[in-house]
Amino acid sequence: MNAQDIRKVFFDFFASRGHDVVASAPMVVKDDPTLMFTNAGMNQFKDLFLGNSEIKEPRVANTQKCLRVSGKHNDLEEVGVDTYHHTMFEMLGNWSFGDYFKKEAIQWAWELLTDHYKIDPEKLYVTIFEGDQADGLPMDEEAYAVWKELIAEERILKANKKDNFWEMGETGPCGPCSEIHVDLRPEAERRQLSGAELVNQDHPQVIEVWNLVFMEFNRMGDQSLKSLPNKHIDTGMGLERLAMVLQGKTSNYDTDVFQPYIKLIEVRTGMKYTSRRQ
Ligand code: GLY
């Protein structure tokens, strides 16, 4: 599947489940002093989450151009060092504004990855929020119960606030999340060491592909959490990472998202690109 097919499968899947497919918002954020650049698909929907705008279309999907070079989600230090972080990237997302919640978001994510993109379930791991004392939040039992219907329990890992509580910035909409990770290592390596040991350990072949955020709170200026008027779904899946998975590559840069540009740069500079597995 090339990147265009990957986007189409995503849009068709969510359109057939009642989602309106909308355009990417601009990368430079104009009306929000808390954010300089669009860092996630949910930014353009912030006022819907906060209850400041009327919800006209409760289910939406798109692919958002994101830039993570400043603020809370700043990946600048990783870029050029590894094979799967970028300054600018595309994030496929589906949203529910006060409509469906964890059950559908998790079931559909699983169905799309395993039935439509045909990713081997034996290569997948998922994480759920383990809770956080300082914020007074319990473990996400609801997400755990839904995952247990879909995937073996030893593949459901508990993770802390750093990895499994998504926040747009220092303030704003936030909530526990559940991530889906893929283990792309060769079978022999997978047999030797379980991928469960490598999730969230910066291994370049055991990577997060999709984050399902369960928006429930607003982080206030004093760092307290206030419940949002409604519960929402906000998901983000890295298009370039998914392309790496589906195209059987070991680096995002080896996919059709980057290769045409890299080839052109080779011609223009006379230099040779070599893919390097870290
Ligand atoms: N808003 C979900 C994410 O950026 O991962």
Question: What confidence tens digit (pLDDT) does each residue in 135-171 have?
Answer: 999 999 999 999 999 999 999 999 999 999 999 889 9
CA of 167 to the centre of ligand 1 (A): 8
CA of 40 to the centre of ligand 1 (A): 5
Q: Name the residue range of residue 159's domain.
A: 3-269
Q: Which of 31-35, 155-159, 218-222, 262-266 has the lowest mean pLDDT?
A: 31-35
Q: What are phi and psi of 18, to 5 degrees?
A: 80, 15
Q: Is 213 left (phi over 0), alpha (psi -120 to 50) or beta?
A: beta
Mutate-to-test residue for ligand 1 from 37, 43, 166, highest number of ligand atoms within 8 A of CB? 166
278 domain residue, yes or no:
no
Q: What pLDDT digit, counting tens, does each position of 61-98 carry?
A: 999 999 998 888 888 888 888 999 999 999 999 999 99
Task: Give the residues across from 11 on adjacent strands.
Answer: none
pLDDT over 70 (residue 18): yes
Calculate the alpha carbon distances from 20 to 56, 75, 100, 119, 268 in Å. Answer: 11, 30, 14, 25, 41
> pLDDT exceeding 90 applies to what percent of the chain?
90
Q: What is the CATH number of the domain that holds 121?
A: 3.30.930.10
274 domain residue, yes or no:
no
CA of 43 to the centre of ligand 1 (A): 9
- Ligand 1 atom closest to 66 (CA): 4
Task: Give the residues across from 96 on adjacent strands.
Answer: 59, 233
Per-residue model confidence (pLDDT) at position 31: 85
- Ligand 1 atom closest to 91 (CA): 4
90 domain residue, yes or no:
yes
Q: Which of 6-20, 47-61, 67-81, 238-252 has the lowest mean pLDDT?
A: 67-81
139 domain residue, yes or no:
yes
pLDDT band at 277 (very low <50, low <70, confident <90, very high): low
Protein residues with CB under 6 Å of any ligand 1 atom: 40, 42, 166, 211, 213, 234, 236
CA of 166 to the centre of ligand 1 (A): 7
SS3 of the chain: the string is CCHHHHHHHHHHHHHCCCCEECCCCCCECCCCCCCCECCCHHHHHHHHHHCCCCCCCCEEEEEEEEECCCCCCCCHHHCCCCCCCCCEEEEEEEEEECCCCHHHHHHHHHHHHHHHCCCCHHHEEEEEECCECCCCECCCHHHHHHHHCCCCHHHEEEECHHHHEEECCCCEEEEEEEEEEEECCCHHHHHHCCHHHCCCCCCCCEEEEEEEEEEEEEECCCCCEEEEEEEEEEEEEEHHHHHHHHCCCCCHHHCCCCHHHHHHHHHHHCCCCCCCCC
Mutate-to-test residue for ligand 1 from 66, 235, 239, highest number of ligand atoms within 8 A of CB? 235
Mutate-to-test residue for ligand 1 from 177, 181, 219, highest number of ligand atoms within 8 A of CB? 177
CA of 103 to the centre of ligand 1 (A): 18
Mutate-to-test residue for ligand 1 from 37, 38, 42, 179, highest number of ligand atoms within 8 A of CB? 42
The one-letter amino acid code at 172 reads G
275 domain residue, yes or no:
no
Q: How many domains does the chain have?
A: 1
189 domain residue, yes or no:
yes
Cα–Cα distance for residue pair 71/9, rounded to 1 Å:
32
180 domain residue, yes or no:
yes
101 domain residue, yes or no:
yes
